[in-house]
Structure formats: structure tokens, C-alpha cells
Amino acid sequence: MSLDSKRTRWQMKNLRSTSRSMKLAGNVTLLFTILTFAQAIGAQEPPKETGTFRRPDLVELVKLDRTIKLDIRYATSNNFLGRPVYKEARAFLQRPAAEALVRANESLRKQGYGLIIHDGYRPWSVTKIFWDATPADKKQFVADPSQGSRHNRGCTVDLSLFYLRTGKEVVMPSGYDEMTERSHINYSGGNEEQRRLRDALRAGMEAVGFAVYEPEWWHYDYKDWKEYPILNISFAEIGRSNPKTRSH
């Protein structure tokens, strides 16, 4: 066999070997892409929970008490994202939490204040949007979607006070959704009146079974929040659906 023939056979053998390697590499790349895509899809779903929960019974706050005011920031661009994430400016809570909120509103009205709601039940998908958009050093102000939010369970409300006499919202030591130390419930800055109003809201909410989330003076969790499942239904679906208790 000539030298040229041997060289040609050697080149063909290397070519086939290279082709097989490229095919294998391509398959590995394809598999990696599929797995990555599958993980991304999985990340768009609420966490799987174990245990048995109460049957959800989300009710619209203004239908229980029409004196409660709404300023649903996430239905507007006036929020930390700078864009709306809700299609409707509505607020819902699980019935026991909603009824407790009505009692708090009645008590505070005797002092000359009303409740103004910025957010209530929040679909899990919105919690995911918040988490992905928030810098690492500000994550304490948003819930980890892998754990779900108490908002997702329909037992958390973001709120403030307004003056019954003027209808204007009061001024607190920080703005709503402000991601600074001024938002902490024990922040000692601001002026005396701002701190007094913050404490009045806290006293009214704690008296009916809510507890404040300390980094955020506006965030209150109802005592039974652990008994409800994480939900991911839109506001429009609440009126026509009746999500069942889930157990896994």
C-alpha cells in the first residue's frame, strides 16, 4: 500500500472519529439545553407543599367594608418596579383575616383614621416577578418564591392610614415599599407625629390578631396564615373559582 493511501485511510478514520465526537458533543449540549429549559419551567411554578390546609375563602375587602380605601400600587406604575403587575386594582384576604381587618378599621375610625390598602392577596407569579427584579442586597424586602409569600396565602395586607377629616393619607417615617432602614417598625428617626401614627396603626392591627413584619411598618400577617395554601390564581379567577384545600 502506498504512503498516500495509508495517509488517506488515516485521515478518513480521524474524520469519522471527529464526526462521532461532534455528534456526541451536540447531543450533550442538546440534553443540557433541555434540562435547563425544564428547570426554568419548573421555577415558574409554586413550591409543592405537604400537609392539609384550610379551604381558601378569599373575599374582597371593600365588599365587607366600603369605608376602606384602596390605593393598589401594583396596579399602577407607582411602585418599586415602575410598572403595573396587576390588571385590576382590587384587594382580597381570607375571610377571617378580612373580618379582623374590618374590626381594626372600625376601631381606628373612632380615633379619626381610616385604613388605606396597598396590597392584600398576591398571586405567587407576582412574588416571583418581585424576587427576580430585586437586587441581592434588598432581598429582605421581598419573599423568596421557593418558599412562597404570606401574601400568596391571602393572610397578609400592606396598608396605612388616612385622615377621615381630609381623606388624605398620613405621612409615615418612610414611604410604602421604601427599601431602607426608615421602613423598619422600630426606626427611631422621622418626627414624633410620624412615629405616633405608625404606632397607632400597629396597635390597631395587633389588637385584632395581626403581627407586623418588622422591616416593613406597612406589612401585617394574620395569625392563621400557616393554615392556608400558597395560591396562584388571578383576581379575575377569584370571583368564579373556588380553589379547594390542597394536600400533598
pLDDT digit string (tens) for 103-120? 999 999 999 999 999 999
pLDDT digit string (tens) for 183-230? 999 999 999 999 999 999 999 999 999 999 999 999 999 999 999 999
pTM, to two decimals: 0.78
Backbone CA torsion sign across 176, 177, 178, 180: positive
For residue 11, give the amino acid letter: Q
State yes or no: pLDDT of 247 exceeds 60. Answer: no
* Selected residue with higher pLDDT from 142 and 190: 190
C-alpha cell read off for 5: 493511501
- The closest of 108, 117, 110 to 61, measured between CA atoms, is 117
Q: Which of 50-54, 69-73, 147-151, 237-241 is the least confident region?
A: 237-241
Name, of 14-18, 128-132, 140-144, the range with top average pLDDT.
Answer: 128-132
With a CB cutoff of 8 Å and minimum separation 6, the contacts of 65 are 101, 102, 105, 106
State yes or no: pLDDT of 165 exceeds 70. Answer: yes
Burial tier of 220 (Cβ tally within 10 Å: 0-12, 13-18, 19+): buried
pLDDT value of position 28? 40
Residue with cell 426606626: 187
* Catalytic residue list: 216
Tell me which CATH code domain 58-238 carries.
3.30.1380.10
Parse the chain into domains and list their residue ranges: 1-42, 58-238
Strands 210-213 and 69-70: unpaired
Mean pLDDT of 137-153: 89
| DSSP letter (8 states) at residue 202 | H
Give the whole-angstrom CA distance, residue 154 versus residue 149. Answer: 9
Mean pLDDT of 232-246: 72
State yes or no: pLDDT of 239 exceeds 50. Answer: yes
Burial tier of 107 (Cβ tally within 10 Å: 0-12, 13-18, 19+): middle
Summary mean pLDDT of the chain:
85
CA atoms within 13 A on the CB side of 113: 25
Backbone CA torsion sign across 228, 234, 235, 240: negative
pLDDT band at 3 (very low <50, low <70, confident <90, very high): very low
pLDDT value of position 91? 98
Are 200 and 178 contacting, i.e. CB atoms less than 8 angstroms apart? no
pLDDT digit string (tens) for 19-77? 555 454 454 444 333 333 333 434 578 898 888 999 999 999 999 999 999 999 999 99
- The closest of 42, 99, 91, 86 to 70, measured between CA atoms, is 91
Burial string for 59-98 (b: 16+ CB within 10 Å, else e) reads bbbeeebeebbbbbbbbeeebbeeebbbeeebbbbbebbb
Mean pLDDT of 169-191: 96
Give the whole-angstrom CA distance, residue 207 versus residue 57. Answer: 23
pLDDT value of position 230? 95
State yes or no: pLDDT of 16 exceeds 80. Answer: no
With a CB cutoff of 8 Å and minimum separation 6, the contacts of 63 are none
For residue 210, give the amino acid letter: F
